[in-house]
Amino acid sequence: MSHHEKTSAESALAPAPGRLAGRNAVVTGASSGIGRAIAIAFAREGANVLLTYRRNADGAHETAGGVRHAGRQAFVLEADLSRESDVDGLASEAVARLGRVDLWVNNAGTDILTGDGAKLSDTLKLDQALGVDLRATMLCSWRAAELMRPAGGGVILNVSWDHVLTGAPGRLAEIYAAAKGGVLAFSKCLAQSLAPEVRVHVLAPGWIATAFAEGLPEDARHRIALRAPLKRWGTPEDVARAAVFLASGDAAFLTGTTLLVNGGAVM
């Protein structure tokens, strides 16, 4: 085989550059579920990732292993992002580990549906949802903007909920919608504040097959699937693919966008 033929063959076998090649990303709440899927999807598209977790250290390091398996650098940081000091620490760690931050995904959220969170009073559930899902998203977004604007730009993705657009019955829905509706409204304002250097988008998942779904009876999962026109639960990877699109140059003329990843359950 000639040198030219060998080079051509090697090029054909080499993976094509990803849509996020050369980018550096922060993904909060990435020890499992949607956050894990986004971190690994970003890595497969070429991004290095700094990921955070609150309690699940093993899960966070498993996610980091997935990032490294994709051939990218991974860094792990424990953080309680409802604390401003931890948000400041995350921003400092991002600069130290990544240098430049191009992408920032605010996925971290509190669990008031399962485990110890489900046993809390309504007031404490509200405090946690507002502190982690809303306040932390705002603080992290402001810190991300401070890093991105002087460096020439970037993309911030915030995670909301599709039913904030329509409402849903029940005390838990009221609490969750208050926090996630705040994320949506904040992000629309932030997109205008940071344009044109930084693009801001909202991911609004619907029924996604995470740990919560695993705890539901089979008949309940089936009924929920039938509510969506596409007749199935979403997967964390469905949300991750949407995140990659919004973070990439394919969405270069979009900002302030809310992408409903829900099989059409809310339109």
**Which residues are known catalytic residues?**
176
Find residue 160's DSSP bridge partners: none
**SS3 state of residue 102:** coil
Residue 196: asked if its preceding bond is cis (omega within 30°), the reply is yes
The angle subtended at Cα 139 by Cα 202 and Cα 39, nearest 5°, is 50
What is the spatial distance between Cα 267 and Cα 260, in angstroms, rounded to a whole number?
Answer: 8
DSSP 8-class letter at 18: P
SS (H, E, C) 32-101: CHHHHHHHHHHHHCCCEEEEEECCCHHHHHHHHHHHHHCCCCEEEEECCCCCHHHHHHHHHHHHHHHCCC
What is the spatial distance between Cα 53 and Cα 198, in angstroms, rounded to a whole number?
Answer: 25
107: closest CA among 173, 69, 53, 65? 53
